[in-house]
Structures are given as C-alpha cells and as structure tokens.
Amino acid sequence: ILTPYIDNDRLIIFKPAETRGPVAAAGVSDPSAFADALKADSWSKIKVNGETAYAPEGAREFSPCLFIEGKTVFLVATRSDMRNLRLSLKSADSDNYLTKVPKPLLPAESELTFFASLPDNDNELICIKAQTDPSNNSISFRAIITESGSDKSGEPIEMSFLKPLESDSIPGLSELPGGYSLRGVFGIPSGINWKARADIADGALDTRSLGLLQSLLPYMSRLDGPLAVGIGPFDFSNMTADRLEAQTIYVCATFQPGKAAEVVNEINGNLREKGLDPRPGANGIYAFNLNGTSYRYVSRGNEFLFAQNREINDKWDSDIEIDPKTTGSLTLMLPPLRSIIPDAPSNNSISASLKMTSKEINLTITCTSGSPLVALPTYFESISTALRNFDLSNEDYFDTY
C-alpha cells in the first residue's frame, strides 16, 4: 500500500555513529498522500520530542517509527533514534559521504552501492557494488578498499589480510566435501593481529560463538599458509541444528614450522585437564567421542588436520577450483528445498561463490528461480517453520502419552 509513493531511485540505508540502529531514507513523490496511506495501513500519528512521526498501532518506545521531512521519509529503529538522527544530519552538513566517496564510485542510476568507513582509519573506505542478473537469477557483489576523498580515483588498493595461495595443489583440498556443502581455502599470512579482528567481530557474535572464537585465538596466531575448511554434506538434521556439534567438519591448517605438533600437544593437555585421555591410533590420529560427537586430529609436518563427525583421510569429490593468484575461495551449495522438506512451497536450490584477490572480493549468489534476495530468506524461513512444526508435533505426542 506504501510502495506507489516510494521513489526506488532514491533509497539509502546507513548507520550513523549517533544512532542505535540503521536508518533507511527514501524519496516520496507525494508526502501528503504518503501520510494518508500510512494511516490507512494502521500506522498511528505520534509525537516524539515535539515532532510528528508515525508508528505501527500498538508500537512501544523501542519500536521502529518513521517521519517525513520535505520529500524524504526516514525510518529509524527506535523513537529515541529520531533525536540521534537529527544530531547526525546536523553534523553531516559539514562532514558527509559526498566528501569521502571518490566521485567515480558514486552510485549510478538504479545501482546498489554500500560504503563503510574502516575502524580507526579515515583515509580508507570500503566500497561494495551490487549488480543483479534477472536472466540468471543471480546477484553479484564486488568489494574493494579505496582511498577516501571525493578527489580520489576510486581505484582499489592492496588488501594485506590474506596472501596468494600460489599453488592449486593445496594440502587437504581432496578431503573437502563435494556436492551440497560449504568449502573454502584461504591464504593466511603470519603476523595477523587476530585479537584485534576478534574485537571487531565482538558485537556481531552471540556469547557462545564469541567464546569459541576466543578459545581459538592462541592457535590462530601461529597460522602461516593455506587454510582449507569444509562443512557438510548438508541434510535436514544439520541444517536445522543450532549446535556446532551437529555439523560434519574438516579443517586442514598450515602452521609456522614446528607449531602444528605443538598445537596437538596443547589440545591433549587441555583434554586431559577435562578428564579425557586422548591416545593416537596406529595411524597416529588422535580420536575420541564426546556426547555423541566424534573428533579426530593429527599433525603432519606443518599441517594440522581436524575432523568432526567424519574420518581424516576420507577422499571426497570436491569440485572447488583454486586459482593460484587468488588469496581465498569459498563455495556454498544448498540442496533443493523439497529434498529437505517434501511439502516446501518451492524447490529452490541456492549456490554462492566467493573469490578473493589482493585487490578485490567478488561474491555471486544464484538460485534456481526468482531473486536471491527473496529466495534466501524464504529458504531458511521454510526450514525454520518445518522445525517449529516438528517440535510442536513432538510436544503433542508427549502430551498425549
């Protein structure tokens, strides 16, 4: 009901430092008619700090609301963000992205572009451009880091957080899963400040994921070379699980000389402190089971191999292709939806391919039908719905008996 009044060519989403959440701004062709349409769509007129705003009926203080200014409508995450947004807009009069974004990178008509400042670095800018291809049911993203400033060229600058893979003969590559799975290879340089990167990720991770990351930091600081990771094959049980222990995982990590064996000794010590007694088999591979999950690990030269819910040395038909000039490569393939949920509303299958070089990152997401922007959330919502229904049916069963 609101769509006819929105100017899709003037749509911006941004996150000011002053607001709690992101802000969406769009042009409106007829502000008065748009306000009437809001009321017809059950939005109520409210007062926030003396200003007129609109919120869904029954909304509370921390619910989203929007306000109209001239021919622009602003949507904020909470009512308190209206005041914060005002502060941001005032500061933007003298310091805004038009002064930071190189002119060649400014969005063209109907082009979707994202910009982000680097933490503690006003001289560089992240730029991500998106392009859709309806004929191929795909959307592509290209990300670069460039110099900040409207007078700059907009050309990418070197990204040093990964190093070239240098060879298509990567240790562990043949053991990555094929088919419907996630598999990737990255060139990890030594000397990365992993703690600083973990601090950046702090706000985006839940408590458990953050705890896992913190526990891995001592080992990650000794990485130096290719890192191969595989998760899968995927099925209903592991795609709907909220426990990492339900996944089938394989890792082959290259460490600094002498550090892989050191890591194995440290893991053994940690496990013995917890009352476990890891012992190597005839093949030198340590193996133990815990709460129904199997674990395998071993060091071979500078490589550390880890497997969860599978064996080390299992050969898979992985179809990941490695370009020695790249610094990283990632492939994701999700199975047709009805192979997981027979009565799903669609049978979409989704794939994603990520390629990284020293100057750019390219990501392409493709689905068998429709737009990936619609297919992705629909895919996972269908799985979540099926899981909720499954849980409810189990509750009914136990209530009956």
Question: pLDDT per position in the chain (401 positions), as tens?
Answer: 567 778 766 778 888 777 888 888 988 888 899 999 888 888 888 888 888 888 888 777 778 888 898 889 998 888 888 888 888 888 777 777 778 888 888 877 666 888 887 766 778 889 999 888 888 899 999 999 999 888 888 899 998 889 888 776 777 888 888 888 999 999 999 888 888 777 766 666 677 777 878 888 888 999 999 999 999 999 888 887 878 899 999 999 999 999 999 999 999 999 999 888 888 988 899 998 888 999 999 999 999 999 999 999 866 666 667 787 899 999 999 999 998 888 888 899 999 999 999 999 999 999 998 888 888 888 988 888 887 776 655 555 444 44
- Euclidean distance between the first and the last CA atom of the chain, given in angstroms as a whole number: 48
Q: How many whole angstroms separate alpha carbon 9 and alpha carbon 258?
A: 57
Phi first, then psi, for residue 205 (nearest 5°) are: -110, 150
Q: How many whole angstroms separate alpha carbon 163 and alpha carbon 326?
A: 8
Indicate yes or no: pTM above 0.85: no
Q: What's 156's DSSP letter?
A: B
**Contact (Cβ atoms closer than 8 angstroms) between residue 247 and residue 231:** yes
Alpha helices in 249-317 (DSSP H): 259-273
Instruction: Kindly calculate the radius of gyration of the chain based on its CA atoms and give it in whole angstroms.
Output: 25
Sign of CA dihedral 204, 208, 209, 210: positive
Q: How many whole angstroms separate alpha carbon 92 and alpha carbon 236?
A: 48
Coil, helix or strand at residue 100: helix
**What is the reported pLDDT for 225?**
92
Q: How many whole angstroms separate alpha carbon 123 and alpha carbon 135?
A: 39
